Structure 1
Amino acid sequence: MQAFRNQSRLTYLIWGGLALEIIAALITGRWTAAFVAFGTLGLSMTPLFLASRLHIHLPKSIVALAVAFVFATIFLGEVFDFYERLWWWDIALHALSAVGFGIAGFLFVFILFEGDRYAAPPWAMGLLAASIGIMIGVLWEIFEFAMDQAFGLNMQKSGLPDTMGDLIVDVIGASLGGTMGGLYLRGQALGSVSALVDEFVALNSRFFRRFRRKR
């Protein structure tokens, strides 16, 4: 598919590593590792499948970050037990992903308003973006629960304390991501975040008919 072409080296490196792990695990009879690697590979490709169906073009950097997150969360976390080896692993992943979810929520809201910076106050659009980011975080916790129940994994670790801690981090991170979106609408320079939003807008210009760069 066209969407899978011209991705970053990091994306191809992770996909290639997962494919090799699947083959090696099947040969050596490590069925759980093979299953987790296969699930990680499929889930890491999901954003591109969804984007292709919705006719949305994702910047390479967004794809790479999504692939790296899924790889670090499921494969490194479960197969190599990073959650137990590194106490901060779960917190760091949820914090970074929550910020990303908030920014993703902002891009979705921005599409709904066709790129009109003045369709609603920046704080309102930032709040909507944060709410969407928090919803994505909640859906991820449901996914972890489902995987634990269906396949005997241990993604939730300590159960309720782990889930509540993750949700608290999700709220903080998504709020930060939504705040960045609001600041972007106000014309604030946000470095790589602004560049990422500008790239997404340029790749999907048909969704942003009312977009005007604020001077």
Structure 2
Amino acid sequence: MAAELLLLLRAERWMHAFLVVAVMAATVVPFLAPKRLGVVIPAELQILAILFIFATLFLGEVRAYYERLWWWDLALHATAGLLLGLVGFLIVYILNENDLVDLQMRPSFVALFAFFFSVGIGTLWEIFEFAMDQIFGLTMQKPMLGDLSGLTDTMWDLIVDALGATVMSVTGWRYMKGIRNGRVDTWVSRFIARNPQLFGRKG
């Protein structure tokens, strides 16, 4: 990425150079989070976050994978739905299980919150894409299936966001029901075990 940045600066492609700098900075965030926030993030989740940022900004925008591979954007939105669903689940699960918070929510409500949290963030991102296209003349909303307006692209993005969010919400619901099965369940368990302070418990 450093070599790519030098080439972009030489070619005066300022927007892409900015994106590469953003990717390089974002890859550091997961490693700073434990020190800044006092939260221990499992290595698998850190790697997933870094790969997602790299695939979205560097490969997608700088290397134009969005234009080269028609399914690239859909795959990333499905992944985003999964990751955001996991974040939404953990937010409510932490509150639900914290010994210092007098709050008990049913697994179905926690799962529902995780779903709408993920879809809501995905919707805000689509609004951001629309605003960037309108204000700065970008093409973040890509033509798709013969639709030059970008509406079809936006709707398919939201559909795969919802599908990813559904998978994670169901997984979270199964976890709270005691059905521990799968790699995601292991990640949630490790996150909880490594961050007892978030639950009002002593480590």
Same fold (TM over 0.5): yes
Taking the aligned partners of 2:140 and 2:31, their CA distance within structure 1 comes to: 24
- Check the 8 A contact 2:88/2:117 in 1, yes or no: yes
Find the aligned partners of 1:25 and 1:148 in 2 and give their Cα distance. 22
Residue identity in the other structure for 1:105:
G
CA–CA distance in structure 1, aligned partners of residues 108 and 8 of structure 2:
49
The 8 Å contact of residues 114 and 207 in structure 1, kept in 2 or not, is answered as no
> Is residue 99 from structure 1 mapped to residue 86 from structure 2 by the alignment?
no
The 3 A distance-change label for structure 1 pair 135 and 209 is: same
Q: How far, CA to CA, are the matches of 2:124 and 2:35 in structure 1? A: 22
The change in CA–CA distance for 1:206 and 1:173 in structure 2 (over 3 A counts) is same
Mapping of residues 51-70 of structure 1, within 5 Å: 53-70=36-53
- Confirm or deny that 1:109 pairs with 2:92: yes
Distance 1:135 1:43 in 2: 22
Identify unmatched segments of 5+ residues in structure 1: 1-17, 211-215
1:120 aligned partner: 105
Contact 1:103–1:180 (CA under 8 A) maintained in structure 2:
no
Q: Which amino acid aligns with 1:31?
A: W
Residues 1-215 of structure 1: pairs in structure 2 closer than 5 A: 18-46=1-29, 53-114=36-97, 119-149=104-134, 151-158=136-143, 159-209=150-200
1:4 corresponding residue in structure 2: none
Following superposition, the deviation at residue 49 of structure 1 comes to: 5.8
Q: Deviations over 1:96-146 (max 9, x none)?
A: 221121111101111111357x92221111111111111221232233334
For residues 56-109 of structure 1, the C-alpha deviation after alignment (integer angstroms, 9 at most, x for no partner) is 222222121112111111211112211121111111111122112111110111
Read off the aligned partner of 1:193 and give its amino acid letter: V
TM-score, normalised by the number of residues in structure 1: 0.77
> How much does 1:181 deviate?
0.4
Identity %: 46
Structure 1 residue 171: deviation in Å? 1.5
Give 5+ residue unaligned stretches, structure 2.
144-149
Q: Aligned partners of 2:117, 2:46: CA distance in 1, in Å?
A: 19
Change (3 A) 1:203 1:151: farther
